[in-house]
């Protein structure tokens, strides 16, 4: 039977993996030259970010992750996306 610490670590790992999947999805879209100003692109990103934020909010309320750690996952993902844009935009 896993301990609480195992559950907390697993929760953080899952959230980080989900954030990484979003970054990869966006990287693939950018590689395929879909412009970041394209409405469909923005909708995909909004939907994915909404899904991740709901997961994180749940994990915080379930006391698996503290609020700062949860916020950090979103911040890290936003920074990663900004890096991706800066590579393709003038």
Cβ contacts of residue 52 below 8 Å, gap of 6+? Answer: 15, 18, 19, 22, 73, 74, 77
Residues in the chain: 90
**Which of 24, 31, 35, 47 contacts its own copies by CB under 8 A?**
47
The whole-angstrom separation of Cα 63 and Cα 40 is 35
Choices 20-28, 30-38, 47-55, 69-77; region in contact with its own copies by CB under 8 A: 47-55
26 binds its own copies (CB under 8 A): no
39 binds its own copies (CB under 8 A): no
For residues 49 and 76, is the Cβ–Cβ distance under 8 A? no
**Which of 21, 31, 40, 50 contacts its own copies by CB under 8 A?**
50
Closest CA to 49 of 83, 66, 26: 26
Choices 21-29, 30-38, 55-63, 80-88; region in contact with its own copies by CB under 8 A: 55-63
Binding positions for its own copies, rule: CB under 8 A: 1-4, 7, 10-11, 14-15, 18, 47, 50-52, 54-55, 58-59, 61-64
């Amino acid at each position: 039977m896993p301990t609480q610490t195992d559950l907390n670590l697993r929760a953080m790992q899952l959230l980080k993996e989900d954030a990484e999947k979003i970054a990869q999805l966006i990287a693939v879209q950018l590689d395929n030259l879909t412009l970041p100003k394209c409405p469909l692109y923005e909708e995909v990103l909004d939907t994915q970010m909404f899904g991740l934020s709901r997961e994180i909010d749940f994990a915080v309320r379930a006391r698996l992750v503290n609020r700062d750690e949860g916020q950090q996952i979103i911040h890290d993902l936003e920074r990663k996306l900004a890096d991706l844009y800066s590579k393709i935009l003038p």
